[in-house]
Structure 1
Amino acid sequence: MRWHTEHFCCLECDLPLGGQRYVMKGGRPCCCSCFESLYAELCQACGELIGR
């Protein structure tokens, strides 16, 4: 998919993502903060986010 820069925002919080790190979720960009709090998996052993 393609977006104008001003429309390239997080699917959850609408944070503009131009030049920022993001994760694709369901074909839409998601900021790392929203992804970690809403979708990231936790380690079964320690409970910390996987990927940190």
Structure 2
Amino acid sequence: MEKDLRTKIYKLARSLQVIKHKKSQESLVSLVFGLIASRSVVFSELADKMDRTTH
């Protein structure tokens, strides 16, 4: 489920073409996925979730 959600977010980011570069798109996906996972707007908690979901 987690990987499917990440893939859907990535495909959405690519289809919107807001960000052209692949690495930037991947960073955006990590940010969004971190927001969803943490349900928090505190940057330190968000950064921790982003780090955990990318490794």
- Alignment TM-score > 0.5, same fold: no
In the superposition, the TM-score normalised over structure 2's length comes to 0.24
Higher fraction of strand: 1
Q: Please identify the structure whose Cα radius of gyration is greater.
A: 1
Higher fraction of helix: 2
